[in-house]
């Protein structure tokens, strides 16, 4: 194999669960989300998964994130989410979308969006249109969910398939880290830390940034990182809002991943 797999299946499954947890934390919350995050058994499992990959910093950040949930209700977390990332309109000082970080040139936005959707299609993922939550291909939570999927798929391939499937999953994961989330997660985390009134979101962004960088180091991914959000307002994205920039059934007609 061109890309050597150094992790065992258990470590990959743990990483997959961490990605899914981070994705859950960075979507606008609902009652089901809060019930899950208040589930002691689930949170202990996430803590254990982090322990397989991280260091003292991850454990401390997770502890502070957990503290941020104390006495929190759906209304408080929802308001905190909207105060941080925006509600009906995107918060221009702290957007949760990659396109706002990657630059305001139309050609760059077009290329990046096409590349992101190409990754999802290549692995048979269909993301349904969800205008109510603003969930788009380039939303931080959607990109983290994609890494959850790829990491789980890699673990499955190791146990059930040959080198070709393993190579496809590992190569895709490294390329996505390098070309997309690995480039902007640091700047995103800094923006959230400056903006969010809720400790929960500050710590969730910090944890996501730290974990992604641990993964990048492990996989020898050296992304060209954006150090800080420059406040770009991508006019092209504004024109596409609610149209082709939104993930939809017609845009992604590959087989659904159940």
Q: At 245, is the pLDDT very low, low, confident or very high (cuts 50, 70, 90)?
A: very low
pLDDT in tens, 124-171: 887 665 555 556 889 999 999 999 999 999 999 999 987 888 999 999
What pLDDT shows up at residue 3? 56
pLDDT tens readout for residues 50-72? 999 877 789 999 999 999 998 89
Lowest average pLDDT, out of 67-81, 84-98, 102-116, 174-188, goes to 102-116
All structural domains of the chain: 9-240 (1.10.3480.10)
Whether pLDDT at 177 is above 90: yes
Q: Vertex 226, ends 220 and 232: CA angle to 5°?
A: 150
| pLDDT band for position 242 (cuts 50, 70, 90) | very low
Spatial CB neighbours of 10, under 8 Å, sequence gap ≥ 6: 52
Residue 15 pLDDT: 97
CA distance 113 to 122: 14
Query: Which range (207-211, 221-225, 254-258) has the least confidence?
Result: 254-258
Q: What is the dihedral of CA 61, 16, 24, 249, to 10 degrees?
A: 150
C-beta of residue 29 within 8 angstroms of C-beta of residue 81:
yes
Tens digits of residue pLDDT in 211-225: 999 999 999 999 999
Question: How many CB atoms sit inside 10 A of residue 47's CB?
Answer: 15
pLDDT for 107: 72
Quote the CA–CA distance of 60 and 55 in Å, as a whole number.
9
- pLDDT, average across residues 236-241: 48
- Of the pLDDT bands very low, low, confident and very high (cuts 50, 70, 90), residue 109 is confident
Contact 180, 143 (CB under 8 A): yes
Report pTM: 0.86
CA nearest to 177, candidates 138, 216, 127: 216
59 vs 207: CA distance, rounded Å: 9
Please tell me the total number of residues recorded for the chain in this structure: 258
Using alpha carbons, select from 154, 213, 159 the residue that is nearest to residue 186: 213
Question: What pLDDT digit, counting tens, does each position of 16-54 carry?
Answer: 999 999 999 999 999 999 999 999 999 999 999 999 987
- Residues 146 and 167: their CA atoms lie apart, in Å, by 17
């Amino acid at each position: 194999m061109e890309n050597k797999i150094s992790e065992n299946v258990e470590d990959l499954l743990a990483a997959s669960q961490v990605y899914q947890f981070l994705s859950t934390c960075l979507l606008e919350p609902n009652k089901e989300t809060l019930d899950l995050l208040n589930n002691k058994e689930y949170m202990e499992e996430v803590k254990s998964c982090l322990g397989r990959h991280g260091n003292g910093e991850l454990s401390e950040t997770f502890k502070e994130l957990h503290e941020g949930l104390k006495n929190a209700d759906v209304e408080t977390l929802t308001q905190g989410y909207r105060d941080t990332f925006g509600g009906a309109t995107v918060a221009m000082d702290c957007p949760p979308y990659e396109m706002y970080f990657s630059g305001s040139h139309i050609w760059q936005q077009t290329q990046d969006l096409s590349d992101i959707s190409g990754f999802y299609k290549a692995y048979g993922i269909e993301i349904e249109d969800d205008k109510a939550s603003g969930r788009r291909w380039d939303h931080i939570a959607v990109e983290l969910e994609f890494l959850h999927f790829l990491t789980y798929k890699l673990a499955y391939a190791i146990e059930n398939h040959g080198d070709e499937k393993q190579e496809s999953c590992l190569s895709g994961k490294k390329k996505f880290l390098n070309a997309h989330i690995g480039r902007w997660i640091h700047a995103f985390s800094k923006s959230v830390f400056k903006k969010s009134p809720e400790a929960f979101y500050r710590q969730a962004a910090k944890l996501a940034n730290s974990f992604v960088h641990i993964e990048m180091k492990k996989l020898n991914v050296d992304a060209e990182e954006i150090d800080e959000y420059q406040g770009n307002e991508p006019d092209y994205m504004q024109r596409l809002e609610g149209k082709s920039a939104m993930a939809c059934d017609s845009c992604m007609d590959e087989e659904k991943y159940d």
